[in-house]
Structure 1
Amino acid sequence: MKMGTEYEVRVVTVANLRAAAEEIRSVGADDPGCRIMAPKAVFRAVKIRGLSPVQANILKQEMLSKGGEAAVSRGVINHSVAETDVLLLGTLRQYEELVRKLRLQPFGLARLGEEIRRVLENIEGRRPYTLDCRGRQLVIGERTLVMGILNVTPDSFSDGGRYETVEAAKARAIEMVAQGADIIDIGGESTRPGHTPVDAAEEMRRVLPVLEAVIPAVPVPVSIDTSKAAVARAALAAGAHIVNDQWALRDEGMAEAVAAAGAPVVLMHNQKGTAYRDLMADIIAYFNERIAFAVSAGIPRERIIIDPGIGFGKTPEQNLEVMRRLEELNALGCPILIGTSRKSFIGYALDLPVSERMEGTAATVAVGIMKGADIVRVHDVKEMVRVARMTDALKRKG
């Protein structure tokens, strides 16, 4: 028998059910034991916004009865507040028991229980699946996908004017694919702060000849970066495979155009101003509303990709906070795309001009992948493909 300090004691990282099962199996437990114990090894903090005191009191008592905890506003007990947020603290097994009990409760708690169950399942992760991009395929979740940026504008913040001619744009698309790009994203209107808006006719004049040249020249899906329904319809008619919409289907007719074409869509978070009640909660509420809108318009949920909109409607500090908390978006169950390449929040953190932000971009790509990003949208394809592959090697087994 070992005595005292001869014992080896350590803390192990248990990020999810899969990791829990692996750790339990490693000590010699059998499969039934793994299934029973793994949900007890994973702890989650779940925050719910806007419950009534009645709902919050029942939820707290039920969670306490399962051995978990629930933090509520001080005024819940005597109903001196109209509503409260609730922070639930417990293991996956405790949540399983809570959800079963909530199915028997009134006051909308049965529906809330199903939402808690859905969010927790989403956080555990998705199995890799094939996304059909109008005939070209992307495997989501097997490795990080790299989207190469191809701006055909005179005034983009980083590469404006470099690829204005069709031949230059086509050559760059071919080069990016050779460097490892999985998607080419073509945009005809700058979205940098202070940009000059262009109408749909001018945007189409810029992008359609490039789409017609690039699509047959590369084997990967080509996306159109636009928020205008007219441009999206024309681009899809020209063969574009994905619509990347920075205003998440706000333009009238955009959702219908995407649905009719059977195209995947990127919904980006965006807003005017930088005021938030709760940054991540507000972003998730925005996505829930826009995803529901997209689905109601006929776009299947499995064709929806979300983008937290780094650099849009956020201060530099808010951009950094979104990156730090990116994994919270996994609760939505959709693939996550991040576009951090050379952006001003990197310049804010490092005090560097746009031409010197490659290393900062690399850091955001690596952190983003570790926190759940499935697709990274970048200018420097060759370098960021290497960053993505190395980060995948650290994060993903196999």
Structure 2
Amino acid sequence: MSFKMHNLVVPTWTGIMEEFRKIGVDPGGCAVMAPKALHRMVKIFDLTPRQANIIKQEMLGKGADAATSRGSVDCSVEKTDVLLMGTEKQYREVIKKLRMQPFQLGILADQLEELINNLRDRPPRELICRDKKLPLGERTLVMGILNVTPDSFSDGGRYYHIDAAIAQARRMVDEGADIIDLGGESTRPGYTPVSTEEELDRVIPVLKVLVRELNVPISVDTTKALVARRALEVGAHIINDQWALRADPGMASVLAEYQVPVVLMHNQQNTIYRDLMGDMVQFFQESISKAEQSGIPRENIIIDPGIGLGKTSEQNLEVLRRLQELDCLGLPVLLGTSRKSMIGKVLGLPLDQRVEGTAATVALGIASGTDIVRVHDVKEMVRVARMTDAVVRNQQRTN
């Protein structure tokens, strides 16, 4: 006799509940069993041996486990990283015990609980962009790139003149763009920074037309608070900050005043990391904290891993492989891989031949939970997003 069986790969709460539904599990039983089916690995950095040993004992006591450095057992090291391994149910039981422990483990317990909560499926919601709304979590949103610069890495100043820029924006909306991202300063390798006045001269005339004529939100890609303020006065809906509130100390207060969504991109001046994803998460946590302290609500924050910025090609590929590790922040993710140099290096292709490479990264990003993709080739990437959504989100759309 042969029994039918196979392994299930179901990393989400929604997926687990669907499997229970297929079997016909009692609803009360579903709520009890689902946390047992969600296995999580959590890495904690720089704990003392005392902290690490207590955590390990509590995890073991609940049938889970924790990996620590060899020297943490006899306290021969000052610090150790800890890798926790267990189900959501085990974590929640351990969190209760840690709250009763010394050595600041109560604080750690609160942070661990927030992380575990963030790993739950984010329910669909609306992103409020002033007078416009975007559906988050229902389908992948496509952001069309509109560079009004003479030295953009991708389009070489093709849309530098206002008429060409406006025509391109209209074309992208017709092709399915949900957002237009307008930028007046290139960030290509070796770019020359421009003054606030020059950036305003490039962006504002185009923006005035776009907010009047287009029915989609307009994002302005800038790191300067004065540019952001003027753009918001004119009617911009979103600010895309490539330095995550770090380039200009006045940016956070401007965004808090206007209460608009902000994209916080990971960026740094070098490519040196102790732990790539761990360092990125810490970077985001610091910028998110600054945003919230300034009065920017968490529901207005979107994070961008910053592919191509502050990373080598190998690091960019690693980030793409590990995108789901950003889920611990519980925020929407925007991914911008379009025509990036890593694609050129992998495929050995120039800028104008990277559509297929971009499509691969867009599909993989969506499969890893990306909510918004920022692209040059809107028509093609809208098709990629719709096809990937049909698989990943079970969303099928036709025109």
Q: Same fold (TM over 0.5)?
A: yes
Q: Is residue 21–residue 38 contact of structure 1 (8 Å, CA) maintained in 2?
A: yes
Which residue among 56, 81, 85 is the counterpart of 2:77? Answer: 81
Within 1, Cα distance between the matches of 2:86 and 2:386? Answer: 35
- Alpha-carbon shift at residue 77 of structure 1 (Å): 1.4
- Give the alignment of 1:224-235 within 5 angstroms: 224-235=220-231
Name the aligned partner's letter for residue 83 of structure 2.
L
Residue 361 (structure 1) aligned with residue 368 (structure 2): no
Q: Deviations over 1:63-104 (max 9, x none)?
A: 000000100011111111111110011111111111121122
Partner residue in 2 for 1:94: 90
Within 2, Cα distance between the matches of 1:256 and 1:40? Answer: 43
Which residue among 164, 189, 193 is the counterpart of 2:185? Answer: 189
Which residue among 199, 205, 212 is the counterpart of 1:209? Answer: 205
Within 2, Cα distance between the matches of 1:337 and 1:104? Answer: 39
Q: Percent identity?
A: 60
SS at match of 2:365: helix
For structure 2, which runs of at least 5 residues remain unmatched after alignment? none
Name the aligned partner's letter for residue 245 of structure 2.
L
Residue 300 (structure 1) aligned with residue 297 (structure 2): yes
Within 1, Cα distance between the matches of 2:16 and 2:125? Answer: 24
Within 1, Cα distance between the matches of 2:156 and 2:131? Answer: 31
Name the aligned partner's letter for residue 320 of structure 1.
L
- Alpha-carbon shift at residue 383 of structure 1 (Å): 0.5
SS at match of 2:332: coil
- Alpha-carbon shift at residue 115 of structure 1 (Å): 1.4
SS at match of 1:267: strand
Residue 13 (structure 1) aligned with residue 40 (structure 2): no
- Alpha-carbon shift at residue 237 of structure 1 (Å): 1.1
- Alpha-carbon shift at residue 26 of structure 1 (Å): 2.4
Name the aligned partner's letter for residue 318 of structure 1.
Q
Residue 134 (structure 1) aligned with residue 157 (structure 2): no
Partner residue in 2 for 1:238: 234
Partner residue in 1 for 2:283: 286
Within 2, Cα distance between the matches of 1:252 and 1:33? Answer: 51
Name the aligned partner's letter for residue 48 of structure 1.
I
Q: Is residue 140–residue 370 contact of structure 2 (8 Å, CA) maintained in 1?
A: yes
The aligned length equals 394
SS at match of 2:388: helix
Name the aligned partner's letter for residue 396 of structure 1.
R
- Give the alignment of 1:308-319 within 5 angstroms: 308-319=305-316
Q: Which moved more, 1:335-344 or 1:9-18?
A: 9-18
Residue 174 (structure 1) aligned with residue 170 (structure 2): yes
Residue 269 (structure 1) aligned with residue 266 (structure 2): yes
Within 2, Cα distance between the matches of 1:129 and 1:25? Answer: 24
Q: Which moved more, 1:103-112 or 1:270-279?
A: 103-112
Within 1, Cα distance between the matches of 2:5 and 2:258? Answer: 58
Partner residue in 1 for 2:340: 343
Q: Is residue 125–residue 330 contact of structure 1 (8 Å, CA) maintained in 2?
A: no
Q: Is residue 13–residue 121 contact of structure 2 (8 Å, CA) maintained in 1?
A: no
Q: Deviations over 1:321-373 (max 9, x none)?
A: 00000010011011100110000000111111111000000000000011011
Q: Deviations over 1:122-180 (max 9, x none)?
A: 11221111111111111111111000000000110111221112111111111111111
- Alpha-carbon shift at residue 233 of structure 1 (Å): 1.1
- Alpha-carbon shift at residue 259 of structure 1 (Å): 1.0
For structure 1, which runs of at least 5 residues remain unmatched after alignment? none
Residue 109 (structure 1) aligned with residue 105 (structure 2): yes
Partner residue in 1 for 2:370: 373
* TM-score for the superposition, normalised by structure 2: 0.97
Within 2, Cα distance between the matches of 1:21 and 1:260? Answer: 41
Q: Is residue 123–residue 137 contact of structure 2 (8 Å, CA) maintained in 1?
A: yes
Q: Is residue 256–residue 294 contact of structure 2 (8 Å, CA) maintained in 1?
A: yes
Within 1, Cα distance between the matches of 2:17 and 2:135? Answer: 26
- Alpha-carbon shift at residue 59 of structure 1 (Å): 0.3
Within 1, Cα distance between the matches of 2:354 and 2:112? Answer: 40
Name the aligned partner's letter for residue 65 of structure 1.
G
Within 2, Cα distance between the matches of 1:138 and 1:210? Answer: 22
Q: Is residue 186–residue 222 contact of structure 1 (8 Å, CA) maintained in 2?
A: yes
Partner residue in 1 for 2:219: 223
SS at match of 1:85: strand
SS at match of 1:310: coil
Name the aligned partner's letter for residue 314 of structure 1.
K
* TM-score for the superposition, normalised by structure 1: 0.97
Residue 200 (structure 1) aligned with residue 196 (structure 2): yes
Within 2, Cα distance between the matches of 1:58 and 1:298? Answer: 37
- Alpha-carbon shift at residue 390 of structure 1 (Å): 0.6
Partner residue in 2 for 1:41: 37
- Alpha-carbon shift at residue 195 of structure 1 (Å): 1.1
SS at match of 2:244: coil
Name the aligned partner's letter for residue 130 of structure 2.
R
- Alpha-carbon shift at residue 29 of structure 1 (Å): 2.2
Q: Is residue 166–residue 213 contact of structure 1 (8 Å, CA) maintained in 2?
A: no
SS at match of 2:198: helix
Within 2, Cα distance between the matches of 1:277 and 1:140? Answer: 33
Within 1, Cα distance between the matches of 2:298 and 2:20? Answer: 35
Residue 119 (structure 1) aligned with residue 115 (structure 2): yes
Q: Is residue 122–residue 332 contact of structure 1 (8 Å, CA) maintained in 2?
A: yes
Within 2, Cα distance between the matches of 1:16 and 1:45? Answer: 14
Cα RMSD (Å) of the superposition?
1.0
Q: Is residue 170–residue 217 contact of structure 1 (8 Å, CA) maintained in 2?
A: no
SS at match of 1:352: coil
